Amino acid sequence: MPYDRPTPPALLATIALILGGIGIGITEFVTMGLLPQIAQGLHASIPQAGHAISAYAVGVVVGAPVLAAWGAPRPRKGLLIGLALAIVVGNALSALAPTYETLLVARVMAGLPHGAYFGVASLVAIDLAPPGQSGRAVGRVMLGIPIANLAGVPLVTWMGQAIGWRSGYWTVAVVALAATALIALAVPRTNAPDGASVRNELRAFGSVQVALTFIAGSIGFGGIFAMYSYVAPLITEVSGAPERLVPLALFAFGLGGLIGNTAGGRMSDWSVLRAIVISSLAMALALVALALTARWFVAALALIFLASITGGCLAVAVMLRLIGVARSAQTLGAASSHASLNIANALGAWLGGVVIARGHGYAAPSLVGAVLALGGLAVFGLSIVKHRRDLRAGQAAPVLDGQADPEPYGGGVA
């Protein structure tokens, strides 16, 4: 049962969940800051090294639905501990990878627990939160990623530049191990959710609204990754800044995400649908402006910061939307949001690499990102249109958006 108000045990449990997210955030994003070092160390080109980003995303996309469906009927605390240990193993293998090919395999393995971890952690946080604060609860759990980008990724990037890129993945393994211990200590014991089963979870994929929301997130969030996957060469080649200032750009991205997740949680408690529309439009505008002004380092930093805010808002809103439209299959719905975001990761990184390889420069991925943000919004528009048609036909809940929504985790998740 949810707590009526935040309590010290709930706070400690939330900190444990966030710590696991910090480890995931570092491992997801540090590769982007160390692309030149990874490429040099494994005798590959920068676009080839960028495939390690896509490999991680493939692991998330595969692991999220499989592990979420398998784990749905199991106690959430034990599932979280197992997922955190899997993060340890995947990153240790990444640090030990002797070749480019083995690194790709290790990155797939490291990504497998990502979506399921955030999905289960978000549901635990919702249960611990006061009524009406589901968006803020999810936003708090997802703070692990912007905190990682704010502090962990810049620090580990600097460390990787100084003593070798493998140190980044070893750092993640240590953080994930600490999170495992704190989860075991602080997260309350739970029974398996009533009625949860693999079959019930998989039924979520039969919902058109789940499919449309999943596709919208997979395309729209690619806008951020098209830009951020190549942020290091953007800063050094387009802005003309020295390599030592790349961590400053990562810091700006992390700070923006921290604000975006917090704002996104509050916006989603007001209206999930409006949060998705507003953040998608704002992302497109920020990325176009970045492409046009990236030659000036200060402007690039400011727009990376603003784009990151929009990404944080969108990530929280998409997760809550998927939890709502998945109905009884909440574990799969929550985990699928991160599968969606990591398809966006792979798509954005790939398309960004394509325009770079064709000679359009390192600012071009930001324009690709703007197109992706608007494409995701267009798909989400289809979701709204379908809901309204179902509403007129008497096949949908009578409320599309707002706090009066009768479905769980209100604020317009349905």
413 inside domain: no
Residue 405 lies inside a defined structural domain of this protein: no
C-beta atoms surrounding 372 within 10 Å: 30
**Domain presence at residue 365:** yes
Element (H, E) at 414: none
Which of 64-73, 341-350, 357-366 tops mean pLDDT? 357-366
For 228-295, the DSSP string reads HTTHHHIIIIIS---GGGHHHHHHHHHHHHHHHHHHHHHHHHH-HHHHHHHHHHHHHHHHHHHHHHTT
Nearest partner of 88 among 184, 181, 176, judged by Cα? 176
**Residue 414 maps to a domain:** no
Of 173-182, 209-218, 264-273, highest mean pLDDT: 173-182
8 A C-beta contact, residue 395 and residue 235:
no
Give me the percent of the chain exceeding a pLDDT of 70.
88
pLDDT at 400: 39
Q: What average pLDDT does this structure show over 394-414?
A: 42
The answer for residues whose C-beta is within 8 angstroms of residue 251's C-beta and 6 or more apart is 149, 150, 151, 154
| Band (286; pLDDT cuts 50, 70, 90) | very high
The average pLDDT across 55-68 equals 84
Give me the mean pLDDT over the 394-406 stretch: 43
**The pLDDT of residue 67 is above 60:** yes
> Quick check: is 196 in a domain?
yes
**pLDDT for the residue numbered 281:** 95
We report the CATH number of the domain holding residue 33 as 1.20.1250.20
| pLDDT value at residue 181 | 94
- What is the count of structural domains for the chain? 1
pLDDT score of 169: 92
85-99, 129-143, 146-160: which is most confident: 85-99
Picking from 31-45, 138-152, 192-206, 359-373, which range would have the lowest pLDDT averaged per residue? 192-206
Closest CA to 383 of 134, 206, 207: 207
Domain assignment present for 104: yes
What pLDDT, in 10s, does the model give residues 191-220? 666 666 666 666 665 678 888 988 999 999
In a domain, 403, yes or no: no
pLDDT for residue 123? 84
Domain that holds residue 61: 8-392
Is 338 within 8 Å of 21 (Cβ atoms)?
Answer: no
* pTM strictly above 0.95: no
Rounded Cα–Cα distance for residues 219 and 232 (Å): 23
| pLDDT attached to residue 264 | 83
**298 or 128: which leads in pLDDT:** 298
The answer on pLDDT for 396 being more than 80 is no
Token pair 């509403």 is found at 391
Residue 184: is it exposed, middle or buried by C-beta count within 10 angstroms (0-12/13-18/19+)? middle
Q: Look at residue 40 and tell me whether its pLDDT is greater than 70.
A: yes
Task: Please indicate, yes or no, if residue 1 is contained in any of the structural domains.
Answer: no
Structure confidence at residue 136 as a pLDDT band (50, 70, 90) = confident
368-384 tens-digit pLDDT: 999 999 999 999 999 88
Q: Mean pLDDT of all residues in the chain?
A: 82
- Segment 23-35 shows an average pLDDT of 84
